[in-house]
Amino acid sequence: METSVDFVIHPIGQLLTMDKPGPVKGREMQNLEVVENALVAVKDGKIVWAGPEKEAPEFEASQRINAGGKLVTPGLVEPHTHLVFGGSREHEMTLKQKGVPYLDILKQGGGILSTVKATRETSEEELLQKALFHLDRMAMHGITTVEAKSGYGMDRETELKQLQVVKKANESHPLDLVSTFLGAHAITREYQDNPDALLDEMADMFEEIKEKNLAEFVDIFCETGVFTLEQSRRYLSKAREKGFSVKIHADEIDPLGGTELAVELGAVSGDHLAVASEEGIRRLAESNTIGVLLPGTTFYLGKDDYAPARKMIEAGAAIALSTDFNPGSCVTENLQLIMSLAALKLKMTPEEIWHAVTINAAYAINRGNEAGVIAKGRKADIVIWDAPNYLYVPYHYGVNHVHTVFKDGQIIFERGGLIG
Ligand SMILES: N=CN[C@@H](CCC(=O)O)C(=O)O
Ligand SMILES: [Zn+2]
């Protein structure tokens, strides 16, 4: 008997389903199952079948989508972005070229603080339009689920404005968004002498954010000149008591022990970890905390200390990758470019990289049961790549290899022309 479906995608040269227990840790990240000559069937926005075409049941499909014998994967999952912000910071590029360090620009009132000023001055509607523009860019680069942080307000009104924008963007854009409250992102001028008071003001918002369901995660920037390890511990502990999952910007520039703190607090992810200590790596590997690595930021800030991904994986940690899309330290929506940097600079293998941008990235935002996998019953978030195999995407760098993106079974991006 024929099963009726909305569409089938075939012929698929290589299908990565990523359908395995996650998060995927350590050397298991090397085990990538590749289904050759495959077919995927979709009905009502959900996957009903995925596997070798010769084993597929008879489908009566309203539409047959030609994958041209190319690569098909789950929609990419982007686990760390600063999506909502006013203005832009192109003027900082010359400062960076002259060698002014990122944290010095911040100390002088620039960097994050200049985006805070611009975000405070931008209306909610304008911020929303800007966020939707960036989401479109992410979608066309193969991303179907995105984490988005606030953190350019650091006053009640602007933080809530940013979180409202994330909520509205989630309602109006096809991509799924996961919201993070990053009220503790920098120390504003008003609080220069009393950062604890800023943290108290932000923590006072936890209840309201929870009640209005405006964020799932709370995050903090633990760094020299920003928030100390002790302040981060106190603030995130309060957030956990209020029922939030936590994340931490840790060990990005100076090795303060943020990786260890992420593990101690049971954070869902520790992000950056560029200068994580040996002890931090060991503890990360023994924990359920996912290391979200952001090599685009190291690259964009012109630094040499790329996150020790190899050591982390060899030790047994689960690793995800992200753009860190933001207006200062990494200005790109292209996760494919980050995949290439992960190969070139973090020395991650293509097999590890695909785990890091699908299943593990989904676990890094508490979406392990929803996103990053092609399996029966899952949302049909699927990318057809104009690439002959999975090795090709990180290899041919700096361009967009996406041919078609499906979100919940709908085509949301399709490159003009036949698949090459
Ligand atoms: N490091 C802290 N926050 C961002 C940068 C934000 C900005 O520069 O605007 C990051 O993850 O890199
Ligand atoms: Zn960040």
> Which atom of ligand 1 lies nearest, measured to the CA of 111?
8
pLDDT band, residue 2 (cuts 50/70/90): confident
Both tokens of 52, joined, read 């070798």
Cα(266) to centroid of ligand 1, in Å?
Answer: 22
- Give ligand 1 pocket residues (Cβ under 6 A): 82, 111-112, 115, 221, 249, 252, 297, 324, 326-329
> Which atom of ligand 1 lies nearest, measured to the CA of 106?
8
- The residue whose CA is least distant from atom 2 of ligand 1 is 221
Domains and CATH numbers, the chain: 4-74+373-414 (2.30.40.10), 76-364 (3.20.20.140)
Q: Average pLDDT in the 60-75 region?
A: 97
Terminal-to-terminal C-alpha distance of the chain? 35
In sequence order, what are the residues at sequence separation of 6 or more whose Cβ sits closer than 8 angstroms to the Cβ of residue 316?
25, 26, 27, 285, 286
- Would the pLDDT of 417 be above 90? no
Beta strands in 93-171 (DSSP E): 143-149
Of 113, 114, 227, 249, the residue with max ligand 1 atoms within 8 A of its CB, to mutate for a pocket test, comes to: 249
State how far the Cα of 12 lies from the Cα of 39, in Å rounded to an integer. Answer: 6
Report the percent of the chain where pLDDT is more than 90: 97
Element (H, E) at 48: strand 46-52
Mean pLDDT of the chain: 97
Q: Average pLDDT in the 350-363 region?
A: 99
Q: What is the pLDDT of residue 242?
A: 98
State how far the Cα of 84 lies from the Cα of 234, in Å rounded to an integer. Answer: 26
The ipTM assigned to this model is 0.97
Under DSSP, the state recorded for 219 is: E
The string of pLDDT tens digits covering residues 125-154 is 999 999 999 999 999 999 999 999 999 999
- Would the pLDDT of 216 be above 70? yes
Other Cβ atoms less than 10 A from the Cβ of 240: the count is: 14
- Would the pLDDT of 17 be above 90? yes
The string of pLDDT tens digits covering residues 152-211 is 999 999 999 999 999 999 999 999 999 999 999 999 999 999 999 999 999 999 999 999
- The residue whose CA is least distant from atom 7 of ligand 1 is 328
Other Cβ atoms less than 10 A from the Cβ of 65: the count is: 20
Q: Average pLDDT in the 365-382 region?
A: 98
pLDDT band, residue 1 (cuts 50/70/90): low
- 80 annotated as ligand-binding: yes
